[in-house]
Amino acid sequence: MGNVLAPLVPAGLQLSFVLYSLYYHETLFQSHERCDGIFVVCKDEAVYLMLAFLCATFSIFGALEKLYGGGSVAPTSQVTAPREKRRSSTGKNSLVVDILKATYGTNGKEKDVTTIVRSWVKDGNYLEIAKQVNFNNVFGDPAPFRRKKLRIVALVSGEPLIDVVRESRDKDFVIDARHVVQSPTPESSRVDVSPHQLVSQISVDFTELSKTPFHNLPVETLLTACLNVGDVVGLFGASFMPVRANITDNVAKIRREIARRRNNGEVLEGQAMVIENLIEYEVGKKKHKVDGSITVSTLWLKRALDFMVFFFNEMAKSDMKSVVAAKAAFAKTLSPWQGWVLQTTCNAAMRMVPARGKVLKILCPSWGEEDGKGAKRLNDAMSHVLKGILKTGLEKVVGEMDAWFIAKALDFSDKA
């Protein structure tokens, strides 16, 4: 039979107790008046005794079946759901990749693909999406001819993770919760934290970019890396929305201008797609100051990156408040080139920057409350994560961008 009656044991015992109580009530008072309660449907107390006996009998059989297993095993589809198996005997969450939500598309048009992405998780703790996977073939195309992303919201080892996977990508996407990273003991000065995957990605991107002088960079390589920075900025929510928009909008403008020139018959391949050559072409045509040009768009892209470098350097300082760091970065890198309306909007947004501890949690989801006891631990971890971003290449590439624009007299003072 399998465990058919076993689940009825608690309910059967409770029902038999209620019915026997009703039998006792009727016998004691010899009353044939209707008692209140959903189980009282007759006036003969003998019926209560009979029903109580039957319920108790089923409960006994169910208990025996539960004890001896019924001679069968529940099918795979009835095995405890993953959410119920995620606690170890100690009561703590075990290592697991739990996909809470997955959507594919654009900001304005997307579809829910949670079920499909969940099916890709192996052994409950490992998700790999190969770069060859064509999302449009797998999920369908919710927004034809537009650039789309797979957005994933998950819990990894009990910690929140928000990540994006681009429709076109040059490497596999992996979430691996198979290895435990031990937190340092309070006595240890060692900092052992795992950055958000997007944070790790921009470190990799700019490490590669730093190997080539800025002016010789292929434009699309730079734009892809900048969009990854934009995704990291997006993790801060509405507070940095103007900065993120500065990145995404100017990347879109550069790509649009390249597409326009190609539609006009220009052959843009190889060296023609290098940053310096694209900008010098506009300078020669005296179109470099036109809004929407590659020159102006790259300049504003640089300023957004300047903001992030300045902000990260400020936050790496001990006990620096995030709001103070954000306002200082804005005043130094963006405000001088903005009109009053933009300045007011950005200043208002900067007031919503998350607190210092939450900034670290955003950049490093593995950081837990128990890790943050004491200002020194928080400062050490913050410095470790931010220097991992800056020193691997971001600071160097942005510094070269600054120097190149100044040397070419292209750092215009015109306000937006």
HSE of 79 in the Cβ direction (CA atoms, 13 Å)? 6
Most confident among 14-28, 148-162, 269-283, 344-358 (mean pLDDT): 269-283
CB 102 within 8 A of CB 114: yes
For 42-196, strand residue ranges (E) read 97-105, 110-112, 126-129, 149-156, 159-166, 173-176
Q: Nearest-5° angle of CA 131, CA 135, CA 137?
A: 120
* Nearest partner of 401 among 241, 277, 275, judged by Cα: 275
Q: Which residue has the higher pLDDT, 12 or 200?
A: 200
Residue that the structure tokens 């003969």 belong to: 44
CB 302 within 8 A of CB 401: yes
User: What is the model's pLDDT at position 16?
Assistant: 54
| Band (180; pLDDT cuts 50, 70, 90) | very low
Segment 321-364, tens digit of pLDDT: 999 999 999 999 998 888 888 888 888 888 889 998 889 888 88
Is pLDDT at 32 greater than 50 in this prediction?
Answer: no
In the chain, what is the straight-line distance between the N-terminal and C-terminal CA atoms, in Å?
A: 76
Identity of the residue numbered 15: L
384 contact partners, CB below 8 Å, separation of at least 6: 191, 193
HSE of 10 in the Cβ direction (CA atoms, 13 Å)? 1
Percent of the chain with pLDDT over 70: 70
153: left (phi over 0), alpha (psi -120 to 50) or beta: beta
Residue 408's CB is within 10 A of a number of other CB atoms, namely 15
CA–CA distances in Å: residue 237 to residues 89, 172, 195, 320, 354: 37, 26, 18, 20, 9
Question: d(Cα 316, Cα 231) in Å, to the nearest integer?
Answer: 20
Q: What's the mean per-residue pLDDT of the chain?
A: 77
Question: d(Cα 416, Cα 339) in Å, to the nearest integer?
Answer: 6
DSSP string computed for 218-240: BHHHHHHHHHHHHHHHHTTGGGG
pTM score of the predicted model? 0.56
Question: d(Cα 416, Cα 411) in Å, to the nearest integer?
Answer: 13
User: What is the model's pLDDT at position 11?
Assistant: 52
- Among the residue ranges 13-22, 128-137, 159-168, the one predicted with the least confidence is 13-22
The mean per-residue pLDDT over the stretch 386-411 comes to 89
CB 388 within 8 A of CB 402: no
| Band (85; pLDDT cuts 50, 70, 90) | very low
